[in-house]
Amino acid sequence: MIRDKAYWKFKKRKAKEKFQEFKKEFFSSKTFFRFSLTILFTTIFLILFFCCGGLLYFYSTPIVDKFKGVDFQIHALNVGQGDSTLIKFPNNQIMLIDAGERDMGSHVTNYVKSFLESENLTKLDYLVLTHPDSDHIGGAIELLNSIEVDTVFRPKVYTEEEAENMSGDVGISSTKTYDEVISLIKEKECDEYFSDNTFSMNLGGCRVEFLSPQESYYDKSNEYSAVIMITYQTKKFLFMGDADETIEQTLIENYGDYLKADVLKVAHHGSETSSSQEFLEIVNPTYALLYVDSNQDLPSIEILNRLHSLDCEILRTSTLGDFALTTLNNEIIYSKVASPSIDIALLISIYTLAVALTWGIRERHPYRIKPRRVPEKVLLE
């Protein structure tokens, strides 16, 4: 027992001596200076990383978060030559108008998921499929399989199965993509409504009106496009889908100056089949939204000239990427997805080099020969 106490007393003394040696070495001028520099470099690295958007490198799908928490937001998603618009209303209900082509389904789905998470929401309240074209509805397949959707507004175009017992002229699907989407909507048991010009609703003080289609049957797919007017406070936002000049003329005859809007989602990606001079002059927008792919021939020069003649600002997904709009002090403002303002690889390289130089890390030369120690016996002789 006495021997055990002596042993532990000895170990305690040795540990104390080692700690004193470590403290003495650590706080020696050289070691302490190196440690202080390392702390300084680390602090500078963290400040630059967080202040210059370094966290964006970890986001799989960055979103426009400048307007986070704002009551009313419109997000234009960059889906190439397709359409997809995400809208948040003041009552925290969310609407998605179109979902791009099938190969854009992942981007649309991830963007919507990230947005819902940032706003502490869990589902999509409304999905509007403006018309049957795949560049507007294809991405809905992945979306419906990944996110809960309450209500779907769809074109009055029927699948062959739906049209079996119908008579007269009705729109019947001619694409597999549309059939898949409608089948999935039924499988997910979403509430379904046909787009109809008599339908309107109030969402937290926002008035949402379907101005078209006004007929049950059309010859062309684009003519089925849901044309939607959203009014928030004193500002109006008009979404045209792919409606052509025939539909525009009908809208003029039925609504006239009511079509005046602050923001216009230009129909059919700026194609000459839409956006007649008369229609644009009545709408007379401050901002024109163009969903286009830089590798395509759209928008047409003629449509761009018409828009420029109205002195409106053109916002393209092909140049801005994903962007969003809202209102502030009765003015419309917009912002795009933030990007890191610093090269993270360069920052890490500089930081690593600075720390390495501080601690004097040197590589041992592979061909350096260690001097041979001469035995004391030889030296005495």
Query: What pLDDT is attached to residue 352?
Result: 79
Q: Supply the pTM of this predicted model.
A: 0.77
Note the pLDDT tens digit of each residue in 183-228: 999 999 999 999 999 899 999 999 999 999 999 899 999 999 999 9
Which of 20-34, 99-113, 148-162, 245-259 has the weakest average pLDDT?
Answer: 20-34
Helix pair 344-358, 29-51: axis angle to 10 deg? 170
R_g (Cα) of the chain, nearest Å: 33
- Greater confidence, 368 or 188? 188
As a whole number, mean pLDDT of residues 363-367 equals 49
> What percentage of the chain exceeds 70 in pLDDT?
81
**HEC per residue, the chain:** CHHHHHHHHHHHHHHHHHHHHHHHHHCCHHHHHHHHHHHHHHHHHHHHHHHCCHHHHHCCCCCCCCCCCCCCEEEECCCCCCCCEEEECCCCCEEEECCCCHHHHHHHHHHHHHHHHHCCCCCEEEEECCCCCHHHHCCHHHHHHHCCEEEEEECCEECHHHHCCCCCCCEECCCHHHHHHHHHHHHCCCEEEECCCCCEEEECCEEEEEEECCCCCCCCHHHHCCEEEEEECCEEEEECCCCCHHHHHHHHHHHHHHHCCCEEECHHHHCCCCCCHHHHHHHCCCEEEECCCCCCCCCCHHHHHHHHHCCCEEEEHHHHCCEEEEEECCEEEEEECCCCCCCHHHHHHHHHHHHHHHCCCCCCCCCCCCCCCCCHHHHHC
Tell me the per-residue pLDDT of 296-343, one tens digit each, with 9 for 90 and over: 787 999 999 999 999 999 999 999 999 999 999 999 999 998 655 556
Q: What is the mean pLDDT of residues 47-52?
A: 65
* Band (374; pLDDT cuts 50, 70, 90): low
Calpha distance 149→144 (Å, rounded):
7
Of the spans 62-66, 234-238, 342-346, which averages the highest pLDDT?
234-238
| pLDDT confidence of residue 379 | 47
Overall average pLDDT of the 249-260 stretch:
97
Asked if residue 359 has pLDDT above 90, the reply is: no
The predicted model gives 167-190 an average pLDDT of 92
- Other beta carbons within 10 Å of 63: 24
Owner of token pair 């260690």: 370
The answer to which of 17-21, 135-139, 259-263 has the lowest mean pLDDT is 17-21
Determine the CATH number of domain 55-336: 3.60.15.10
CA atoms of 80 and 95, how far apart (whole Å): 20
Residues 6+ apart with CB under 8 A from 121: 92, 94
Angle (nearest 5°) at CA 319 between 318 and 322: 75
The better pLDDT of the pair 72, 297 is held by 72
pLDDT at 59 over 60: no
Answer with the residue of higher pLDDT: 177 or 357: 177
Sheet holding 206-212, edge to edge: 200-203, 206-212, 227-232, 235-239, 263-265, 287-290, 313-316
User: What pLDDT is attached to residue 47?
Assistant: 75
Smallest CA-to-CA distance from 142 within 183, 96, 110 is with 110
Residue type (1 letter), 21: E
* Beta-carbon-side half-sphere exposure of residue 122 (alpha carbons within 13 Å): 0
Lowest mean pLDDT among 135-144, 254-263, 290-299: 290-299
Tens of pLDDT, residues 14-32 = 777 776 776 666 666 566 6
| pLDDT value for 363 | 45
Q: By mean pLDDT, which of 6-15, 167-176, 311-320 is the weakest?
A: 6-15
